[in-house]
Structure 1
């Protein structure tokens, strides 16, 4: 993958040798946990270990990593050429169809050296785990979150992808605001939530395809949640046909994936002169998010970062409107561990990317949330998304 000053030369596809390093990281952790092999069928793990992105279905795709250095990918025959086109970094073992005369995991078992102790991804569905146990009857299969932890700290090449996704997310926020401003100037109808959502999604994908080579189509290329007024009081409310109106609070909760690496950036706007109530709510969230940017750092536990951030909201007398944690990890998944939440004692490390997104949700009125994707560094954390956060910058005058 090469990023240059000419954005048309930005290549989203990571070099095959990159995956030698992800596999070696997993093997090192396997040795620490005493595994002869590790099995995962999670699409994000597969992309992390081999560079193969695919549409999951009932036909299993799985990666088998052996401590001896061999990496095998089980996949249906219909995916073989697609995996080869992506230069998947693994030996391919294919089954013809599902459920098959010979079960898929039996095809894998027949192709590898019989192991003694196998770790399997704790995300594996029960039916697939049962099929794997049947195929590897002599092995001790042990659940592990090893691959989840392996993905915590990003390699430098991944950070480049996250940075570019952040740049595009900021431009998507620009595009959303501009659509509303243009409608105000024109004096006609303001856009609906759905129209806004379609516009920012098109802006993100259009920019990506115009400026990048080898665009990797992940689960979400670009898009997000757009909601206004009372609809925004639902933290994950879907865009509706509600049309923006004077006085509305509205939220653009946007993001994209570059090379399969996600970023989110969220801002809350007011359409017209803010009321005292709107200013209080927005200023409180801004202060909480600002403290989050100052306190997220290597060495702090996720639960402590969460407490410090959300205490700002509680101290402002608005704790009853809290509906969620401060944030979560971001990588090949938009939401992944570690969690900035009271129940997660994970110690944050340099190289992690996490969201910092405190919010409040006032039923019948609106929601207020500000989010940045933060790259944890040796001496703090850097917000990768940079769109202005304060209410003065997030007010659209009429």
Structure 2
């Protein structure tokens, strides 16, 4: 059976939540709803309006500079635009001497006018006095004040859960991107471990990892995702100074552990993988801590199948770590969904998330431990939930990654 398309699913979720329309406010929500990844994604500059009533058409608002790309990629055909500070002229008009001068917003674009445009669309769709869903954490005070002033009789309600549920189940194309992104991340980690690292700080480690992922992209020529690599993310710390840095900080001597959590982006879909690097045989104390978090990973992994409540997976993983002689070990979650973007996204494998796993969910499972004075311990693996269990994307051994000096 073909799964329902994105807009049909969004309308069904909106109806269940009792809202009359939702506004996808830039970023991953806008991309997921529209199908178009805008280059210009400033606050209030990329918005999709989707009425719950299927008889009322959806609309996207993007900068005029983005119009051609939006027309090529967006599944929503009603595309409205607003001007930027840019001068965009037409060659034929220039040659004919008919190119007109048009005033530009200064210094960038008119946010309040964008909100009035969105209000007008909602009014035209019969939603001016309805319940409008927005993800409040993504909306600036300035934008919200302008929108509320333009729609004084509307009721604005939190729609974060609607978008989480919309993005939670991945179709095959998204799963393929996340699987490919995990290949990149693992390649970068392997190259990092094979490269002499003495004297480097976190910035130096990231340069090696970035270059390795860029080189790996060249080997993917001719594959279905050729050209889809968009960049990397690195969170790392060296030794007992467990706070991650972008540059500076401690430099590697060979006597410390290196916490390395990383990802790669394929067409906007980000992986999340991590390991702890060790130079030579780790101490018995360090081995004890890593073995403990691996016990948590093993216990949680055994429950990765459809129907298992996420909170049950959390407790299994945390309890298994505690049973290894670490009764104080306490986490807020031991994993999260993966999708658009390069950070953690809901839903989380947490003690307060009781929904069951479903086929098509892609998750990262992790049980990290950070010990000031010793280092960060990380094992993070990626999976897709299948109809019968889970397919593991990560192939790295669940152990210290032995590195070179």
TM-score > 0.5 by shorter chain: yes
Q: Which residue among 190, 193, 196 is the counterpart of 1:177?
A: 193
Q: Is the contact made by 1:227 and 1:239 (CA closer than 8 Å) also made in structure 2?
A: no
Distance 1:355 1:102, change over 3 A: closer
Distance 1:323 1:190, change over 3 A: farther
Aligned residues: 367
| The 10-residue stretch of structure 1 (109-118 or 349-358) with the greater mean CA deviation from structure 2 | 109-118
Q: Which residue among 198, 202, 213 is the counterpart of 2:211?
A: 202
What is the CA-CA distance between 1:90 and the residue it aligns to?
3.8
What is the CA-CA distance between 1:52 and the residue it aligns to?
2.1
Q: Which residue among 219, 225, 228 is the counterpart of 1:215?
A: 228
Q: Is the contact made by 2:194 and 2:403 (CA closer than 8 Å) also made in structure 1?
A: no
How far does the alpha carbon of each residue in 1:257-299 deviate from its partner, in whole angstroms, 9 at most, with x for none? 2121111110112111221111111111122112222122222
* Whole-angstrom CA distance in 1 between matches of 2:247 and 2:354: 34
* Whole-angstrom CA distance in 1 between matches of 2:333 and 2:265: 23
- Could you say what secondary structure the match of 1:295 adopts? coil
Coordinate RMSD, CA, aligned: 2.7
Distance 1:72 1:206, change over 3 A: farther
Q: Which residue among 272, 281, 296 is the counterpart of 1:273?
A: 281
What is the CA-CA distance between 1:161 and the residue it aligns to?
1.0
For normalisation by structure 2, the TM-score amounts to 0.82
* Whole-angstrom CA distance in 2 between matches of 1:109 and 1:296: 44
Q: Which residue among 105, 117, 133 is the counterpart of 2:115?
A: 105
* Whole-angstrom CA distance in 2 between matches of 1:60 and 1:141: 19
What is the CA-CA distance between 1:171 and the residue it aligns to?
0.8
Distance 1:323 1:300, change over 3 A: closer
Distance 1:346 1:251, change over 3 A: same
Matched with 1:390 is 399
* Whole-angstrom CA distance in 1 between matches of 2:229 and 2:144: 29
* Whole-angstrom CA distance in 2 between matches of 1:176 and 1:283: 23
Matched, 1:129 2:144: yes
Matched with 2:49 is 64
Q: Is the contact made by 1:322 and 1:361 (CA closer than 8 Å) also made in structure 2?
A: no
Q: Which consecutive residues of structure 2, in runs of 5 or more, have no partner in the other structure?
A: 84-104
Q: Which consecutive residues of structure 1, in runs of 5 or more, have no partner in the other structure?
A: 1-17, 184-188
Matched, 1:286 2:270: no
What is the CA-CA distance between 1:320 and the residue it aligns to?
3.4
In the TM superposition, what are the counterparts of 1:213-362 in structure 2 within 5 Å?
213-215=226-228, 217=230, 221-231=231-241, 233-234=242-243, 236-238=244-246, 240-320=248-328, 322=330, 324-333=332-341, 334-362=343-371
Q: Is the contact made by 2:305 and 2:357 (CA closer than 8 Å) also made in structure 1?
A: yes
Distance 1:194 1:320, change over 3 A: farther
* Whole-angstrom CA distance in 1 between matches of 2:180 and 2:327: 35
What is the CA-CA distance between 1:87 and the residue it aligns to?
4.6
Matched with 2:373 is 364
* Whole-angstrom CA distance in 1 between matches of 2:44 and 2:21: 22
Matched with 1:49 is 33
Q: Is the contact made by 1:65 and 1:72 (CA closer than 8 Å) also made in structure 2?
A: yes
In the TM superposition, what are the counterparts of 1:137-156 in structure 2 within 5 Å?
137-144=152-159, 145-156=161-172
Matched with 2:19 is 35
* Whole-angstrom CA distance in 1 between matches of 2:111 and 2:338: 40
Matched, 1:168 2:174: no
- Could you say what secondary structure the match of 1:103 adopts? helix
- Could you say what secondary structure the match of 1:320 adopts? coil
Q: Is the contact made by 2:202 and 2:245 (CA closer than 8 Å) also made in structure 1?
A: no
- Could you say what secondary structure the match of 1:375 adopts? strand
Matched with 1:91 is 78
* Whole-angstrom CA distance in 2 between matches of 1:139 and 1:222: 41
Larger-gyration structure (1/2): 2
How far does the alpha carbon of each residue in 1:205-248 deviate from its partner, in whole angstroms, 9 at most, with x for none? 3433663545374xxx21312322113x33x5545452222232
Distance 1:102 1:388, change over 3 A: closer
How far does the alpha carbon of each residue in 1:341-376 deviate from its partner, in whole angstroms, 9 at most, with x for none? 222223221211111110111111111010012211
